[in-house]
Amino acid sequence: MLVIAENLNVRNKAYMEAVKNRDKKTIESFAKTLAEKGADIINVQCSLDGSGDEEMLPLVAEAVQKAAELPLCLDSRNAEALKKTLTVCKEPPLINYLSADEKNADEILSLVNRYKANLIIRALKGTVPTTLEAKLLILEDLIEKANAADIPNERLFADPSVVHIGGGIGQEHLLNTHECIIALNEMVDPPINTIAWISNVSTGLPKKLKSHVNAGFLCYIAGAGLDAAMVDVTDAEVMKTVYLIRSFRDEVVFSPADIS
């Protein structure tokens, strides 16, 4: 299972202050810590709506790579920002994300193809679909568009879209997410990768519950065959769960000392 550090996002006030001040040293320090905590890939977000990403995303990407020497996940739908940042990436990154809402889908797909990047395709059209069938229809359409742009399934990561368990029909959504991953693993040929932003499940819950809920959900969804998880790598409980999942899958050699 690939571990993608979610930590460099707009909810991280200290990080966003460093971005605002172009404080590369602080950004490098954050990135080094994430690498030490076990990240395989580091997600980089500089805004929610893409504003200012043309300038800030390349700056942050260079700082993170300098400190961590890990692949990046570029969290922006701003095509111009992606174009500028792709030129400074030391290895093909993961682009986060393409949904049914993007009006510049062809431009993003062209960039992914040109730079041999990987791409997250997300089950999202206005809102997160409430049924398994709706999720699969959106993802099927995005797979077809990506394939038409000469992006093979091996470079695609399908995201069923995780919602928080505490609101509305959150539990039903989470069941559909689990079933969606199973369906994608069984139905899509050639095989496609699956991914989920784990911390979304605990949005709005008391802080003392978040680690338990996130770790439990990660274990649940891993059982469906999840390939990559976007997590808070500084959360010890979540990272112990990652280690156990990898052990159960025979991806690492288990040692009690590693989780003591």
**Does the global pTM surpass 0.85?**
yes
pLDDT at 62: 98
Candidates 118, 122, 50, 40; CA nearest to 84 is 50
Peptide bond preceding 256 in cis form (omega within 30 of 0): no
pLDDT at 170: 80
CA gap 63, 15 in Å, rounded: 12
pLDDT at 167: 75
Alpha helices in 115-188 (DSSP H): 132-148, 170-187
State pLDDT tens for residues 123-171.
999 999 989 999 999 999 999 999 999 999 999 999 999 999 987 778 9
State pLDDT tens for residues 94-131.
999 999 999 999 999 999 999 999 999 999 999 999 89
Which CATH homologous superfamily contains domain 2-259? Dihydropteroate synthase-like (3.20.20.20)
State pLDDT tens for residues 216-255.
999 999 999 999 999 999 999 999 999 999 999 999 999 9
- Backbone torsions φ then ψ of 159, nearest 5 degrees: -110, 110
Domain boundaries, the chain: 2-259
Proportion of the chain above pLDDT 90, given as a percent: 96
pLDDT at 169: 79
For the record, the structure tokens of 111 come out as 């960039």
State pLDDT tens for residues 11-62.
999 999 999 999 999 999 999 999 999 999 999 999 999 999 999 999 999 9
